[in-house]
Amino acid sequence: MQEVLSLFQDGFPDFRMLGIWGMGGIGKTTLADAIYHHVSNGFQRCCFLANVREHDEQRELLKLRTEFLSTILEDENLYISTPTTGSGFIKDRLSKKKVLIVCDDVSKLSQLEFLFGGIDQFGPGSRVIVTTRNKQVLIQGGMDLDLIYEVKKLNSYESVQLFCQRAFKSYNPIEYQLKLSEMVLSVADGNPLAITLIGSSLCGKTRSYRESEVKKLNKVPKQGIQEVLKWSFDGLDCEEKEMFLDIACFFEGKDRDYVTSFMDACYVSAHSGIENLIDKSLISVSENQIAMHDLLQQMGWNIVHDESPLKPEKRSRLWIPEDSYDVLSKNNGTGRLTGIVLNMSKLPKLELEPTALMKMRKLRFLKFYHSCGRILLSKGLLSFPEELRYLFWEGYPLRSLPTKFDLRYLVELDMSKSHLEQLWEGKQDLVNLKVITLRYSWNLVRIPDLSNARNLEVINLSGCSNLRELPSSLQHLEKLTILYFCDCENLRSLPSFYKATALTNLHLSGCSNLCCFPEIMGTMEELYELDLSETALKELPSSIGNLTGLYYWRMTNCKNLVCLPDSFYKLKSLKTFDLEGCSRLEFFPEVMDTMKELYELDLSGTALKELSSSFENLIGLKKLRLKNCENLACLPDNFYKLKSLKTLDLEGCSRLEIFPEVMDNMEELDELDLRGTTLKELPFSIGNLIGIKYLRMKNCKNLVCLPDSFYKLKSLKTFDLEGCSRLEIFPEVMDTMEELYELSLSGTALKELPLSIGNLIGLEYLVMKNCKNLVCLPDSFYKLKSLKTFNLEGCLRLEIFPEVMDTMKRLTGLGLSYTALKELPSSIGNLIGLKVLRMQYCRNLVCLPDSFYKLKALKTFNLEGCSRLEIFPEVMDTMKELYELDLSRTTLKELPSSVGNLIGIKYLRMENCKNLVCLPDSFYKLKALKTFDLEGCSRVEIFPEVMDTMKELYELDLSRTALKELPSSVGNLIGLKYLRMENCKNLVCLPDSFYKLKSLKSLYLEGCSRLEIFPEVMDTMEGLYKLDLSGTALKELPSSIDNLIGLQYLSLKDCNNLVA
């Protein structure tokens, strides 16, 4: 691991991709996982993409990429279906993040290209680790050979240690164990997976058994690891072998409980069998999901394939789509088949015969998916095999199940998106049935009597929009735990569920015609989640208090709900209660006794006018949301007694004019949202909110003052007053406030800030955009030593920026755009950490300080639209960091020759500088320059000589200038790709050196109406693919034009003088 970490070089700012290469089972994934967890704390976001090859083979790379982007970009709703990773916006977000990504088991370069669209787009310091069995994948991806680590076989000592730990639970083998180890290791050949499997198989066995098995193992021909794995499989009993093959073909990656449930219906020793497979390292369990090493899975597939290499119908299991399709389309299934999986997403439609499944007498597992409208039964279906345990048929096309279908062994029935109108007539023997799923079967009208389904645990009928009623037999199913009836829009009533004592989840959201909830005649201790959102309920029975185990209760957007039962307080286990959007609910019931467990209550969007004083009995309440309660006029005076409260959201409570006195300290409340309320002031006692961290008062249009006790909020981190348009005075900060790091005063009526603002010693972000009345800043400004960003954009009356009396290292961003500043103080050079300075459209700005060059950290300087700025200051020393300078629409006449000291400049914009007449001769010294925009500089007649090569400049825009010609030295722009000279009306010729621009891709000369001659192309130009000569005065093209061998687009539109 240390060797790989040395390649990793965490902390270095460059992007780096590492490869881990080696044979299957050698430990690549284990090593990558160990490194991932060892270094992950040093990255902004981390993602482990497991089993890339398997996702590709299952056509699920898109899903994997979506999960990856959602994780890295922290956006759960992100979805990109295109072959590349999408827009420049996505790539821009990726380029700003320092990420750690592991791509495990990559088999083709195309997989990396699909997932990332180019690995060079991640931010500085990012690391990508790729594990693969194919070294060429890494080489083709451009990886440096020095960054590819080959995982070697375990040496003799390491092999013995691993084997002894697995076989004997010891690291100190006695002589006989050591001899046994040597015999095993001659076969395992240093492969960790093989050693683990053999050791696990011998663990807990007698000495004679171990010696006998190892002798047997040594008789295996040395044909590689697959033979060793097969030996491990051969040591299983018959049922364990069947379970292993089931998992390899159908259940790898599935939930353990789900797999166990299926196995339990098929095998006598399901639970012990799965435990044995785990003990023998043939499967593993992580986060309750069953996993199998891909080499073991491949071995399982091979075993099944070898049952009948040429005739799939004679195998025991079919999972490859083409094999399953072939057998079913030919109607030649046999009695050997126990399981079929068919993914129809990439296959043509399939017409099944009525007898298609009859021959498969032993079939236990049947799964058709991505099959809506793709598997046809135009002649009907006689029956399903009687041995069937699991039936999954997405889009089942018939109105009911076959009448001859005996369901006695069926454990799970899933026919989502089916055409079923009913399942069957009468009663069925359903003794083994545990799960019924008929989601989005829109034609389903009713479900049959289920009284014989005594083991039924889950029913999911979500989206069955024509379902009108539920059978009363549901109340007698004592093992029923989960009921999903979401979006059953025609469901009008429910049977009583109180006898279903095992019920844990009841989901009825979206049942928009459900207007009554049944009485609960006895206590229900197990029901912990109830969702009644978007139903038509007007009220609930008082017996709701019998749900003594209820944890989570949702009633969002119940527009008809007018009251809650007085028994509400009896729900002693309740943790969250969501009533958001219940727009007719005017009263919240009295809380007649303490409720310790309720920690989250959402009353947003209700019609509540007030809260009762009994709210203090919610002693465990942590989150209270009253957002957009437009009728709420007051809060109870004993509000301060909610000692556990952490979040109080009152945003949009537009009638709330008074905030109650805080009569005692509230240590826990850390977030208070008062945005959009009609508060005029806060009480002096607000200082008792000693734990408050986030206080939001945006758009409190009536707020006229803040309390003098403001400084007592020592825990405050962010304070948002944006849009408080009547707030004219900011209170004195009577003591230091270390924690406040973000203060937004944008759009307030402040004229000034108090001198004591310097006491905000932790302030990092100060935003005062569009403070139209602000005329000055305090002289103490320089004391804000922690300040990183200061934005004064749109402060139209601000004419003077204060002297910076001391260095400010941390201030990196300063926004002064649209202010009335005439100049900056010379002390601006003390902003030694400044990286971004924006002064767009400072129309009164006439000069910049001579100390400008002292801003050594400056990266971006924008002066666009400073229409009175005539002179750019001398650059008295080199400025390495400044890479973007925008002087567009200024009145500059020239640039100083010292502009050559901007040695890091990459982007220089001087668009529409109408007074500019010349450029400095030192222009060629700008070696880092990439783009230079002079479009619309209508008085520029001469382009300077390019005295030396400029490799980086790739885009030059000279459109609408007064240039008559370009110097022959323009050939020194050897990196130039895009040259624009549209509508250069004075241009009469191009230099003979034009052909030297070997990198040129596009040349635009449209509208150069005096250009009569195109220069000879003295050598081939492979890169130039677009040439626009529209509207020029050309009479002919030179014969050497054919040297433009890469030309794809040539426009000669409106070349009226062209004769040949």
> 148-162, 184-198, 737-751, 892-906 — which is least confidently predicted?
184-198
Give percent of the chain above pLDDT 70.
Answer: 94
pLDDT of residue 77: 59
Confidence class of residue 222 from pLDDT cuts 50, 70 and 90? very low
The tally of CA atoms less than 13 A away on the side-chain side of residue 1021 is 28
Taking only the tens place, the pLDDT of each residue in 103-146 is: 888 888 888 888 876 555 677 788 888 888 777 778 877 777 77
CA dist 1035 to 104, 965, 1038, Å?
Answer: 63, 18, 10
User: Mean per-residue pLDDT for 496-514?
Assistant: 90
The number of C-alpha atoms within 13 Å of 298 and in the hemisphere containing its C-beta is 12
Cβ 777 vs Cβ 825: under 8 Å: no
User: CA-CA distances (angstroms) from residue 1009 to 939, 984, 1049?
Assistant: 17, 8, 20
Q: How many other C-beta atoms can be found within 10 angstroms of the C-beta atom of residue 342? A: 25
Residue keyed to tokens 């009208």: 445
pTM of the complete model beyond 0.85: no
- Per DSSP, the residues of 267-308 read -TTHHHHHHHHHHTTSSEEETTEEE--HHHHHHHHHHHHHTS
Residue 218 in this model has a pLDDT that exceeds 70: no
Task: Round the CA-based radius of gyration of the chain to a whole number and report it.
Answer: 38
Q: Which pLDDT does position 29 carry in this prediction? A: 83
Considering all CA atoms of the chain, what is the largest pairwise distance in Å, rounded to the nearest integer? 103
| Tens-digit pLDDT profile for residues 799-858 | 999 999 999 999 999 999 999 999 999 999 999 999 999 999 999 999 999 999 999 999
Q: Which residues contact 277 (CB under 8 A, 6 or more apart)?
A: 236, 240, 243, 244, 247, 283
628-664 pLDDT, tens per residue? 999 999 999 999 999 999 999 999 999 999 999 999 9
pLDDT in tens, 674-691: 999 999 999 999 999 999
Q: Give me the CATH code for the 811-940 domain, please.
A: 3.80.10.10
Per-position DSSP letters for 301-356, written without gaps between them = HHHHHHTSSS-GGGSSEE-SHHHHHHHHHHT---TT--EEEEE-TTS--EEPPTTT
Least confident of 213-227, 231-245, 416-430: 213-227
pLDDT at 221 (0 to 100):
43
Sign of CA dihedral 210, 212, 215, 219: negative
Mean pLDDT value across the chain: 89
Give how far Cα 1052 sits from Cα of 3, 76, 1035, Å: 62, 50, 11
Residue 147 has pLDDT above 90, yes or no: no
pLDDT tens-digit map of 242-257? 999 999 999 998 999 9
Is the confidence at residue 381, as pLDDT, over 70? yes
Q: What is the DSSP string of 436-450?
A: EE-TT-TT-------
The two structure tokens encoding residue 448:
């049959």
232 burial class (0-12, 13-18, 19+ CB within 10 angstroms)?
A: buried
Q: What is the pLDDT of residue 150?
A: 80
Q: What integer pLDDT is reported at residue 287 of this predicted model?
A: 86
Question: Residue 84 CA to chain centroid, in angstroms?
Answer: 16
Q: Are strands 127-132 and 16-21 parallel, antiparallel or unpaired?
A: parallel
Q: Tokens 């040949």, residue? A: 1060
Q: What CA–CA distances, in Å, run from 216 to 233, 235, 494, 589, 602?
A: 13, 11, 64, 76, 68
Task: State residue 7's pLDDT score.
Answer: 64
DSSP 887-908: -TT-------GGGGG-TT--EE
Q: Compute the distance between CA of residue 442 and CA of residue 420 in angstroms, rounded to an integer.
A: 8
Per-residue pLDDT band for 795 (boundaries 50, 70, 90) equals: very high
The domain made up of 955-1060 has a fold known as 3.80.10
Is 769's pLDDT higher than 90? Answer: yes
CB 378 within 8 A of CB 400: no
CATH topology of domain 2-150: Rossmann fold (3.40.50)
Q: Is the pLDDT of residue 207 over 50?
A: yes
Q: CB under 8 Å to 272, separation ≥6 — which residues? A: none
Whole-angstrom distance, CA of residue 300 vs CA of residue 246: 9
Band the pLDDT of 31: cuts 50, 70, 90: confident
d(CA 668, CA 662): 13
The CATH architecture annotation of domain 236-306 reads Orthogonal Bundle (1.10)
Q: What per-residue confidence (pLDDT) applies to 13?
A: 59
- Kindly report the length of the chain: 1060
Distance separating alpha carbons of residues 401 and 951, to the nearest angstrom: 74
Q: Is the pLDDT of residue 513 over 90?
A: yes
Element (H, E) at 128: strand 127-132
Q: Rounded to an integer, what distance in angstroms lies between the CA atom of residue 424 and that of residue 436?
A: 13
Span 224-234, average pLDDT: 70
Mean per-residue pLDDT, 1026-1048: 93
Q: What is the rounded distance in angstroms from the CA atom of residue 635 to the CA atom of residue 623?
A: 15
The residue written with tokens 């590492």 in the block is 18
Q: What angle do helix axes 61-73 and 88-95 make, rounded to 10 degrees?
A: 60
pLDDT band at 176; cut points 50, 70, 90: confident
Q: Predicted confidence band at 40 (pLDDT cuts at 50, 70, 90)?
A: confident
Pairing of strands 600-602, 623-625: parallel
pLDDT tier for residue 296 given thresholds of 50, 70 and 90? confident
